[in-house]
Structure 1
Amino acid sequence: MKKLELLKKYFGYDSFRPLQEEIIDSVIAGKDLMVVMPTGGGKSMCFQLPSLLLDGITLVVSPLIALMKDQVDALRANGIAASYFNSSQDATQQQEMLEELRSGRLKLIYVAPESIGLLNNHLQGIPVSLIAVDEAHCISTWGHDFRPAYTQLSYFKTSFPDANLIALTATADRATRADIKKQLGIQNAEEYVSSFDRPNLTLEVRPGNNRLQQMRRFLQKNKDESGIIYCLSRKTCESLASKISAYGFDAAAYHAGLSHEERENVQEKFIKDDLKIVCATIAFGMGIDKSNVRFVLHYNMPKNIEGYYQEIGRAGRDGINSHALLFHSYADVIQLRKFAEGSGNSELQIAKLERMKQFAEALTCRRKMLLSYFNEYLDEDCGNCDVCLNKPDFFDATLPAQKALSAIIRTNERASLNLLIDVLRGAQNAAIMESGFQHIKTYGAGKEITWNNWQQYIVQMINQGLVEIAFHENNHLKITPQGKEVLFNGRKVSLAVIPKPEELPSRRAQRTKEELPTEVNRDLYEALRKTRLQLANAGNLAPYMIFSDATLKDMAARIPLDDNEFADITGVGTHKHDTYGAKFLKMISEFKDDRKKDFVYRDEIIKPKKAKKKSTGPKKDTVMETVLLFREGKTIQEIAAIRNYQPGTILNHLTKRYESHNDIDLEKLIDPKDYDLIAADFEQIKDAESLKSIFEHFDGKIDYGSLRLGLTLLNEKAAI
């Protein structure tokens, strides 16, 4: 069977995510690989699908003992023969698994690194085609979660010479990747580094003052959603879970101080949607394949960007808009610095903590900064972080940026951030004199800029991907290809004006919520969730193992009424279609019959209460064409470009659709400032003879499309 057929049959997808197909082809070709793919990017597919094409066993090494059962259950729910071997099983369970192994019925075996020695003897004579080392950063002392048990994995290449090896992790910079390959004996492995961009995640950072009250307000706005709140200490987890529960939210604590049974109970309830919020240390979440986590909050600042990125990656794995909110305070930095000073590689940990602090205090696009940390660069700001949504003032900083970049090159890329600033300001300290940097051309070239401002500017240049920090080379600054464009090819640089402390804005990112077209569709979605929960409880499975939230939303929007339409829904594979299709189709059919008068099916409303007489001709067609593009998730600007119309014309189409069918959320489409202006003068303009006179009333500052949209909303409110 071909790859795409297997993808659809067992996983329910019609196409691969970026890099997946290339990685799978390389695995099947017998190559050793180093794969870096962010959380939610589809790492598991890179070894799960090849296991179905290879003749022997695929051995998956994972540190996640508590989650292996969930991962194996999810595979079995897809119709794939998988099992696990670890210390949580009793002797009978292990014997049953070994019997499956000997009989040749298994395709994948998950094993903890601590249990490999016990399993090794049973693998003799069993063909092992592929070894996948998951969470591979645990093998590297350069990584953010070093696990000594992983060091024994270096024997794989000699013990299983016919098996190719694939190392996978969600976060690893260049130094960590090199160390992983060295430790596993695959120095020549091809590297695949996927995009780290998760555009569906809204990134927000807030100062940590009154964080409990801020968090309470946030949870109130997201009271029906699942989320994780990360804390630094076990005590904070317990205290926070208690306070949140007292506020009326469904919350529990999770940390290493709890018994195995307590942790397993919290985890299982969260996965099965019986618990909404978990207050946890970083021990929680690694490997959890719960797709409908809508928010990740950090009550305390993480110790490094790798950990932060991996933790926020647990939100929105179904691709639906989700929120990552970080609180930071100076007290957190002090505590984390104390932790770092007691570690084995304190200098590296402190440098990475400083980079995390710079992220929290950034005045430039946070997504740009995150991506540049992993050597990926955005040309434009993301528009979906608190900085982008509350832009600071910028100035043309090309000249000071060129001075800094020139100084980096003239110091042979051997200067740290502090030393580089001293060079630019012409300092006369021992570090300058010993290095001889007082003789380079750019020595003292930036003395007119204060030390603190230079620090902020260079950090912004790092955030923009013009400069990078080589943590494995004493934190020296290196110029990137983008930086060379500025220095040699005239690329312009804009940097944020450094505000005084009292001028710092209180940033608030506006969370966008994925909405279905009408109330009926939303009701159907909730009914689908209840059906999923009933089936999950009956099969002792987590709800997401049956279908993800994204799959249910696709059902609610497209309303499949037969087997073929149901099979076309995103995330419905052959096995799940055969197992659950009839139950969901019956439920949808019954729901449709109950709500027949106002039910939305695909693009039209059946018997709408205020339906206008159907017209024939191009006008209806052109409106519907716009509506269909809008329902695909296109923005007004994108639709205007596709259809070669002005944005105002597109707004007119959507307003007309709203007037006839009431199934477009108009309030999302109008600029709040325009709406406020129209509302303020509504009494004066509501009886105007023409839209042109209203356009002139506002001196042409509000376009026709927005005017009509605003008037429609205000007229409707006036009628209520």
Structure 2
Amino acid sequence: MKQKLNQILKETFGLSTFREGQQEIIESVINNNNTLVFMPTGGGKSLTYQLPGIYMDGLVLVISPLISLMKDQVDALNNLGIKAELLNSTVGPSERRTIISNLGLIKFLYIAPERLNSFEFLNNIVQVKISFVAIDEAHCISQWGHDFRPSYMKIKSFLSSLKKKQDFPVMALTATATKKVRQDIVERLGITKYREFTKGFDRKNIIIIVREISKKEEKLSKVMEVLEKTPGSGIIYCSSRKAVDEVYENLQQKGVKVGKYTGALTSQVREQEQNNFMSGDYKVVVATNAFGMGIDKKDIRFVIHYNLPGSIENYYQEIGRAGRDGKISYAVVLASYGDTKIQEFFIENTYPSKDEVLKFYDYLYKDFSIGEGNKAIILKTHNIMAIESGIENDMKVGSILKVLEKYNILKKGVSEEESEEGFRGKGITLLKSKLSHSDLSIDWDHQKNLEKESYYKLDQIKKLLFYPSCRKRFILDYFGDEEDLKDMPENCQKCDFCIDKNKFKGGKVENLVPLSAFEIVLELLEKYDNRFGIMVISSVLYGSRDKKVLSWNLDKNKLYGALGDYNLELIVGLIEALIRYNFVEKSSGQYPLIGLTETGKLALYSEEILKQEESELQSFLAIKMKGSNFKKYKAKKEKPAKTPKGTTKLETASLFKQGLTIKEIAEKRGMTSLTIENHLVSLYEEGNLELQYVLKLVELVNIKKVKDVLKEYFEFGVEKLRDVKDILEKSGNSDITYLDIKIAIIMVEKGDI
């Protein structure tokens, strides 16, 4: 067998050797084993079903949702002299009948899942010898997959029908599947015995770099730096069309040969942009995640994520388009915690609450009594329905319609005869008569679990990009690539964390805090186990005067302000270090809570348990605080000194850091309190007053309220502070001062909130 396989590899595909793991997978299929293949994009998955398909007798059925990829592979096989055809929405009735009537003459048939259960196809396929069925993009069958497609649910019944006539192995292949998704794939395909291969998730030639940048100007500058320093071509992924336009226009103005690709463009323009990139006319393409399927350009040297990726699956699939030729390439993320708000917005609007779905259901059936409404037509746009229903968000309306469509309560679209002249929307057809809420067959628990899963995936991408740890090791662990994980050295030398870690002599880091700082955190969490999130616990330890802290009487706890000599960022880092090393756990969802793990509870009574992990905890904290030169954020406790009047703003900063109030500083310096306030605001804006001191001037709850007003009413900047104050007062927030507003504006600009 091996000799024949090597002969096909060389003579048909022009390759001299198999990539790691390919031969084992091929032999598994030939030996009639159901075979699950989890390999990253560019890892050589297609060869693992094409080569055994040539070796074995009969037709290979390849089920795939990707029309462009189908065509590319069919063309490639036909160019090699291997008969291949495709059946999808691009094939007309006459051509379809010709292909189906000649199945016995075809070696590879690529077919969209929607076409599997047509009577014409089923009637013919059962008469043809099948060597095996390969299911590409198999994660699409899983409810937990990042690209679930209902059409994939038909595959199990199709396989069952086919297996009544003959036996054959089934292959399931995907580049992105966690352990949870893999189990779901197995169950939904009805596979019992199988062999599983997880290979190649360590992209050894790709260096992963994370740069925490929030300001647009800094991001654009970093993009240009990457382009200037990196030969070859690249892709810049953005999370919105607006961001695509911004980056595209900026690069155009700087003379870069750049294209753009979004779903808003026509199919002809998209195809032209892709062709220009593939031919080398463009150095870079700026795109949403609509771009990339089927892209196999050898000299892509960098992939930049301008915003936070939606999930690790999406991120790893997208960076896999770089370095296909094995040469060193770069995956650069330019993101900040602020970028997570975009993803949270998408999640919030993708998974409407039960109350919202029922409210909209009542709106759709408002003109009908129980038992009426079946087959009724609604000709209204999403925007009109959002306003009339009170949902007030057309994106959420679209998500609600998907839920109702999923449970066969309605279908989107009406026939031309049923539509009205001038109506530009698709319309809706109600498929069932009106029911009481209790009789609706919607699995609310399932809907809630999908939402939780989305928040979980967002939490994982945060951990990958913002927690100090080896990025590559985290990815391998996430995808369950145990073989590559076992072979990876402690320092991968191919991610920014490990590269930075090399800078520390002997891999050791000077302790930033005493061990007792970690113990104080654990002690406070024993009292407030799973009651609050990271920021509330940090605020208590910091000694914040935030209204939440005071209204809940958290300032009465004996540990209130226990770590007040550190800044808030460092305290958050302490907690994240304890989470990373399993002393503290964080729940999933939009508002996660933190509590002690069993290890954390034991560490409260046995310091040795904590001591054993101290080196790792301190290393984590040091990397987390690298922007602060690894120094403790501790205020100098100097004795107040007499200061001559009329000195600089820095003198104000010195007095404030010594603990004097604004009023005391004003009296001491012979100035007004307003002048001292302006000094402190200016010092913070210029970077001469740290955030830890600024937070002693204001209450976080007020800052957040100002931020909300700025976001809603002042997208293009604030001309007069009075305008902001007026809106706040109208909404009942007259206690918010001009000082609060000034500091909030600067915090937003700096990305400190």
State whether TM-score is above 0.5.
Answer: yes
Selected match of 1:212 from 203, 220, 227? 220
Residue deviations 1:470-508, cap 9 Å, x none?
989x9999999xxxxx97997974534265585169xxx
User: Who is 1:189 aligned against?
Assistant: 194
Superposed CA deviations along residues 391-430 of structure 1, whole A, max 9, x for unmatched, are 37635899899999x99xx9xxx989969x989x99xxxx
In structure 2, C-alpha distance between the alignment counterparts of 1:468 and 1:20, rounded to whole Å: 39
Query: d(CA) in 2 for partners of 1:171 and 1:99?
Result: 36
Superposed CA deviations along residues 523-545 of structure 1, whole A, max 9, x for unmatched, are xxxxxxxxxxxxxxxxxxxxxxx
Could you tell me how far apart the structure 2 residues matched to 1:417 and 1:198 are?
A: 39
Instruction: Name 2:471's counterpart in structure 1.
Output: 366
CA contact (8 A) 2:144 2:180 kept: yes
8 Å contact from structure 1 (residues 369, 465) kept in 2: no
- Residues 152-201 of structure 1, C-alpha deviation per residue, up to 9 Å, x if partnerless? 22213302212221111112111111111111111443321114111100
Say whether 1:178 aligns with 2:192. Answer: no
In structure 2, distance between residues paired with 1:373 and 1:469? 17
Counterparts of 1:469 and 1:173, CA distance in 2: 20
Q: Alpha carbons of 1:125 and 1:291: their partners in 2 closer, same or farther (altered >3 Å)?
A: farther
Query: 236, 243, 249: which is aligned to 2:250?
Result: 243
Distance 1:477 1:379 in 2: 32
Match of 1:23 in 2: 25
CA pair 123-4 structure 1, distance change in 2 beyond 3 A: same
Letter of the structure 2 residue corresponding to residue 33 of structure 1: T
Give the whole-Å Cα distance in 1 for the aligned partners of 2:585 and 2:103: 48
Judged with a 3 Å threshold, the aligned counterparts in structure 2 of structure 1 residues 168 and 367 are, in CA distance, closer, same or farther, namely same
Matched residues, number: 475
Residue pair 1:372, 1:464 contacting (<8 A) in 2 also = no
CA distance change for structure 1 residues 85 and 497 in 2, over 3 Å: closer, same or farther? same
Deviation at 1:60, TM superposition (A): 1.1
For residue 111 of structure 2, what is the aligned residue in structure 1?
111
Query: Paired residue for 1:503, among 628, 639, 649?
Result: 628
Counterparts of 2:116 and 2:29 in 1: how far apart (Å)? Answer: 22
Does the 8 Å contact 1:373/1:463 carry over to 2?
no
Find the partner of 2:172 among 163, 167, 170. Answer: 167
Rate the CA distance shift 1:204–1:488 in 2: closer, same or farther, 3 A: closer
TM-score normalised by structure 2 residue count? 0.55
Q: Is the 8 A contact 2:237 2:289 kept in 1?
A: yes
- The letter for the 2-side match of 1:61 is I
Match of 1:381 among 491, 501, 510: 491
**Residue in 2 aligned with 1:233?**
240
CA distance in 1 between partners of 2:582 and 2:323 (Å): 26
CA distance in 2, matches of 1:69, 1:361: 39
Aligned residue in 2 for 1:139: 141
- Higher alpha-carbon deviation: 15-24 or 169-178: 15-24
Q: Helix, strand or coil: the match of 1:227?
A: strand
State how 1:612-651 maps to structure 2 within 5 Å. none
Deviation of the 1:300 alpha carbon: 1.1
State the 1:379 CA deviation. Answer: 3.7
Paired residue secondary structure (2:76): helix
Q: Distance in 2 between matches of 1:272 and 1:95?
A: 36
Q: Distance in 1 between matches of 2:322 and 2:146?
A: 20
> TM-score when scaled to structure 1?
0.57
- Structure 1 residue 51, shift from structure 2 partner: 0.4
Q: Distance in 1 between matches of 2:204 and 2:532?
A: 30
Structure 1 counterpart of 2:638: none
Determine helix, strand or coil for the equivalent of 2:308. Answer: coil
Query: How big is the shift at 1:272?
Result: 4.0
RMSD between aligned alpha carbons?
A: 4.3
Instruction: Select the residue among 43, 46, 50 that pairs with 1:44.
Output: 46
Q: Aligned partners of 1:489, 1:96: CA distance in 2, in Å?
A: 73
Q: What letter is aligned with 1:116?
A: L
Counterpart of 1:88 in structure 2 is: 90
Partners of 1:488 and 1:186 lie apart in 2 by 45
Q: For residue 281 of structure 1, what is the amino acid of its counterpart?
A: T
Alignment match of 1:157 (pick from 136, 156, 159): 159
Q: CA deviation at 1:148?
A: 2.1
Alpha-carbon shift at residue 112 of structure 1 (Å): 1.8
Which has the larger displacement, 304-313 or 244-253?
Answer: 244-253
Equivalent of residue 329 in structure 2, options 322, 336, 340: 322
* Structure 2 CA distance for partners of 1:398 and 1:166, relative to 1, 3 Å: farther
**Offset, 1:85:** 1.6
Tell me the equivalent position of 1:76: 78
Letter in 2 for 1:56: G
Q: Distance in 1 between matches of 2:478 and 2:55?
A: 36
Answering whether residue 323 of structure 2 is matched by residue 198 of structure 1, we say no
- Is the 2:126–2:162 Cα contact (8 Å) retained in structure 1? no
Following superposition, the deviation at residue 116 of structure 1 comes to 2.6
Structure 2: how far apart are the matches of 1:189 and 1:270? 41
1:635-685 residue CA offsets vs partner (Å, 9 max, x unmatched) = xxxxxxxxxxxxxxxxxxxxxxxxxxxxxxxxxxxxxxxxxxxxxxxxxxx
Which residue is equivalent to 2:663? none
Compare CA radii of gyration and give the structure with the larger one: 2
Distance 1:21 1:295 in 2: 30
Task: Summarize the Cα distance change of 1:255–1:468 in structure 2 as closer, same or farther, 3 Å threshold.
Answer: farther
Q: Distance in 2 between matches of 1:199 and 1:398?
A: 38
Q: SS where residue 44 of structure 1 aligns?
A: helix
- Secondary structure of 1:89's match? coil
Question: 2-side partners of 1:163 and 1:467: how far apart?
Answer: 49
CA distance in 2, matches of 1:462, 1:12: 50
* Cα distance change on mapping 1:8 and 1:387 into 2, 3 Å: same
Aligned residue for 1:351?
Answer: 456
Q: Which residue type is aligned with residue 503 of structure 1?
A: S
Whether contact under 8 Å (2:259, 2:277) holds in the other structure is no
The aligned counterpart of 1:55 is 57
Q: Is the 8 A contact 1:60 1:131 kept in 2?
A: yes
Q: Counterparts of 2:294 and 2:531 in 1: how far apart (Å)?
A: 36
Alpha-carbon distance in structure 2 between the residues aligned to 1:366 and 1:400: 29
> What is the percentage of aligned positions where both structures have the same residue?
38
Distance 1:200 1:499, change over 3 A: closer
1:550 match? none
Instruction: Give the partner amino acid of 2:290.
Output: A
2:500 corresponding residue in structure 1 = 390
Write the mapping of 1:695-710 to structure 2, written as runs, cut at 5 A.
none
Distance 1:465 1:372, change over 3 A: farther
Are 1:225 and 1:294, in contact at CA under 8 Å, matched by a contact in 2?
A: yes
TM-aligned CA distance change 1:191 to 1:471, over 3 Å: farther
Secondary structure class of the residue paired with 2:12: helix
5+ residue gaps, structure 2, are 352-449, 542-558, 599-607, 631-753
Deviations 1:264-319 (A, max 9, x none): 33334433444442222112213333333221111111111121111111111221
* 1:537-557 alpha-carbon deviations (Å, 9 max, x no partner): xxxxxxxxxxxxxxxxxxxxx
CA distance in 2: counterparts of 1:23 and 1:489, whole angstroms: 45
Alpha carbons 1:253, 1:279 under 8 Å: kept: yes
Whole-angstrom distance in 1 between the partners of 2:15 and 2:271: 31
Structure 1 position 267 matched with structure 2 position 274? yes
Could you say if the C-alpha distance between residues 205 and 500 of structure 1 is closer, same or farther in structure 2, counting changes exceeding 3 Å? closer
Q: Which amino acid aligns with 1:39?
A: T
Mapped partners of 2:533, 2:6: distance in 1: 53
Cα distance in 2 for residues equivalent to 1:457 and 1:372: 23
Deviation at 1:100, TM superposition (A): 5.2
Cα shift at 1:465: 11
5+ residue gaps, structure 1 = 427-443, 481-485, 506-720
Q: Is the 8 A contact 1:369 1:463 kept in 2?
A: no
- Give the 3-state SS of the residue equivalent to 2:268 in structure 1: helix
